[in-house]
Chain A
Amino acid sequence: MSPDADDALRLIRDSAAAIAPRQGDLGRIRALRFTRPGFDRAVWRQMAELGWLGLLVEEARGGSGLGLAEFCALAEELGAGLVPEPLIFAAAIAPILPDAAAVIGGERIVLPAWQEQPNTLAPGAATRFAGGRVSGAKHFIPMADGADAFLVATADGLALVEREAPGVTLDLAMTQDGGHFGTLALRNAPATPVPGRIEPALESITLALAATALGLMDRAFALTLDYLRTRRQFGRAIGSFQALQHRAADLKLQLELTRASVAAAAAAPSPAVISRAKARAAEASLLLTRQAIQLHGGIGYTDEYDVGLFLRKAMVIANLHGSAALHRARFAALAPDMTE
């Protein structure tokens, strides 16, 4: 990687620290849990000022024209901070939106609405768009309650639907991390057509979710190592017990495999390597956060101690944009097996 590229990544990570400091307390995140819309518009505008919403938009259209490596670095930091703002979803579709300026500027929040079945990567095709009206239902839209509009995938192309338009209803189901999934029901809702395809954006989000998982793993692991060093039982630090040392060593291995997998996919993205990264991140993040609870003992099972927040986030992310099993199957279908 060139020195310039390294600099760009470092800049992104540094700028992320303004909103999601690695050492910061999680008071803001706790306060927003189980509220509506579950995130903060003021922080969203701050993110816009930092250029994050236009990160993937080409410079000619007012963005910064960066790539998936930078996008993943950002997602990783946001994951480490358990940031509830649905930035990766909005930023991934910004390049295909017609009036990108308001979106990049943070005044208008548009989220993708594509899914009709659980556990899939294929935009559902039961939603129809004809005569300027959309009908259908879309599920599992993270933080949908904060959107001004939705980019809806239909059998007849992409459609932009305003949240407040007639024929639009949004139902929310709370998620373990304190956010929610929206279910969008459209009954002859007025919409404007948007040229282009949503699939590339869905791939970017899938990879960014793997990076988010990496970030939260990293932070949960640091918290756990700290605890192993300071918690004493039997007159010694519990981290001195070899059984726990081996556990920590195994978790470190999974953490670094995830980091390597995400970095490889970000450097040379293809559906196969993105699946590889997501499959790893889904499993490893659940393993690591489960073990983080275990290694904390009773205090790990309290809501007031932070480590549980990371488990809850991992539970929400693990199967979003496809479970580990789905991505293993997709990898097997797409990646030539050189051993044959």
Chain B
Amino acid sequence: MDAAALDALDDETFRLEVRRFVEAHYPPALRNPPKRLHWAENQVWYRLLAAHGWLAPGWPREYGGMGLSAAKQLIVIEEFERHGCARTNDHGVVMVGPLLIRYGSDAQKQFFLPKILSGEAIWCQGYSEPNAGSDLASLRTEAVIDGDDYVINGQKTWTTLATDANWIFLLVRTDKAAKKQEGISFLLVPMDSPGITVRPIINLELHDEFCEVFFDNVRVPRANLVGEENKGWTMAKALLGFERIFLGSPRQSAYALVRLKLLAERMGLAEDPTFQDRYTRLRLDLEDHKALYETFAAQLRRGEALGADVSMLKIHQSELFQRITEAMLEIAGENAGLLEPMEGNRALHPAGLFIQARPATIYGGSNEIQRNILAGSVLDLPAT
């Protein structure tokens, strides 16, 4: 069934269609992965999604997306999470695609969008630096023009899955004299460029998921600049909207809630009134979150830019995810301390999910920063 036909289905028929798709195609060995998978492990799923045209539910159809309604995008998320599908290397679909669709040159769109959809271009996000985290605009990695090239020097850090990526989208300083937000540009750089070194960092899951990326006289053609020079901050801010709605999607919480219920059943607490009240509260939080999410996703589908208020979604989702995993930890008894899933069952891993939920309030703009944004840009409260 093509995307237009899928979008024309009523929601319940569509849900059954998604479920049928996942059950027919998702590799059983990859269900409920205890850690985020690397490209070598999850590319099967990426390529399957690509082959069936399911990779980019939110992209417009003219660029190879499904152009689904907000409600249907939600159904896709719910069904994938219920099944325990792995997250893919999704920076291309979630961030680079929307960036290029909005700001890219025709040549960039023609070159990159098909490569994202085919899995040829796998991306990582080069924003944060050791001294530019929350204060991203103070970043210092610089790019200097030399003939037809930019020459890049500096360091990025916390770069998720950089070892898997063959491209990095990078914020660099191109004007050191300007105000800090006004001297930043957006560059697309092949990871196999001479002068790039990647060092994986072991995270709290004891997994080599994020990395440091060093740039030593790395040359990239000027044609790899996105939009205008020194206008990178504006684009990055618009892109943060896409990142926040993605991180604000109920994906993680929906996944965790199903596992909370399984754990409660295993611990013999499913019928316990105290547990039921707590579970129902979390469930209601998730239902209301979905309703809020839908209003933002609908804005996007209408082609409207997201406002600063999308921070609400990111805050609520990440904290709901954490609260669900905290409930898991509390009811798990001694299993809360285990390094591996309980009884070899990957769906029962309270400790793992609890740790995995920790950084959700840090990455994508920490929740403190999101609250500052809400208070300042949305509520218009006076600055200190």
Contacts and interface: CB of A to CB of B under 8 A. Distances in A.
Assign chain B's interface to a size class: 35 or more
B136 to A, nearest CB: 9
B36 interface: no
Interface in B304-335: 322, 326, 329-335
Nearest to A34: B339
A134 to B, nearest CB: 22
A301 B368 contact: no
Contact of A308 (B131, B204, B337, B384): B204
A315 B351 contact: yes
Given A234-B135, A302-B203, A315-B351, A174 B340 contact: yes
Interface stretch (B24-32, B74-82, B359-367): B359-367
A176 B329 contact: no
A249 interface: no
Contacts of A304: 201-202
A290 B362 CA distance: 12
Nearest to A115: B334
B203 A303 contact: yes
B359 A119 contact: no
Contacts of A241: 368
B157 interface: yes
A227 interface: no
A172 B186 CA distance: 51
A181 B204 contact: no
A69 interface: no
B253 interface: no
B133 interface: yes
B378 interface: no
Interface in B353-384: 354-355, 358-359, 361-363, 366-368, 371-372, 384
Contacts of B128: 298
Interface in A204-256: 232-235, 238, 241-244
A139 interface: yes
B327 to A, nearest CB: 11
A12 interface: no
Given A174-B340, A241-B368, A301 B204 contact: yes
A298 B337 contact: no
B338 A302 contact: no
Interface string A290-306: 10011001101111100
Contact of B340 (A173, A317, A319): A173
A286 B334 contact: no
A76 to B, nearest CB: 20
A298 B368 contact: no
Contact of A298 (B157, B338, B340, B355): B157
11 contacts: A234-B138, A242-B384, A286-B326, A298-B157, A304-B202, A308-B204, A311-B358, A315-B329, A319-B329, A319-B336, A320-B337
Interface of B: 128, 131, 133-135, 138, 157-158, 201-204, 206, 210, 267, 274, 322, 326, 329-340, 351, 354-355, 358-359, 361-363, 366-368, 371-372, 384
